[in-house]
Structure 1
């Protein structure tokens, strides 16, 4: 294995994996792997308070993992980074089957 390639990407990979390291953020990402969801749907599905849900969503949006679409008074989040979706699918295949 050529470590020089990985060396260039270590910070990016570590930052991405750090988002997966928190159980509630991971649960939110898993829930969003099926497609975009409204904030209240996410909150109800993962069982967090509105403030915690919003904090997690905003953090993941700032990190480039999630995208946001607004429609009238509603906010919809979706997985924006295709690498996140690939990692989630791999983890689901390994751990959830």
Structure 2
């Protein structure tokens, strides 16, 4: 049982490490709202194309986001139910638009 817990803890720590970057967290908060194209993510994140590409690659390699292609447009979305559940909870606490208005 302790070994299983250690393995899960390592997986969770790796996931949280990817989320710990403010730019990646902003991208993930946007994806908590639903799928988005690279172009839309770039406009909303305020990052250069190169920086956005690097962050998206890390999120994709880490298994937090997935892609689909439609013609020449690439769309990103949260990769799985676990990521979605964590981001929905974080979104409610930190990213929700009504939270910004209340502050």
Task: Provide the TM-score with structure 1 as the length reference.
Answer: 0.88
Gaps in structure 1 of 5+ consecutive residues: none
Show CA shifts across 1:50-84 (max 9, x none): 11111111111111111110111111111012211
Match of 1:41 in 2: 40
- Three-state SS of the structure 1 residue aligned to 2:89 is helix
Structure 1 residues 93, 35: CA separation in 2 closer, same or farther (over 3 Å shift)?
closer
Gaps in structure 2 of 5+ consecutive residues: none
> What is the Cα deviation at residue 11 of structure 1?
1.1
4+ residue segments displaced more than 6 Å: none
Query: Aligned equivalents of 2:82 and 2:12: distance in 1?
Result: 10
CA root-mean-square deviation: 1.6
In the alignment of these two chains, the number of paired residues is: 95
Task: Provide the TM-score with structure 2 as the length reference.
Answer: 0.83
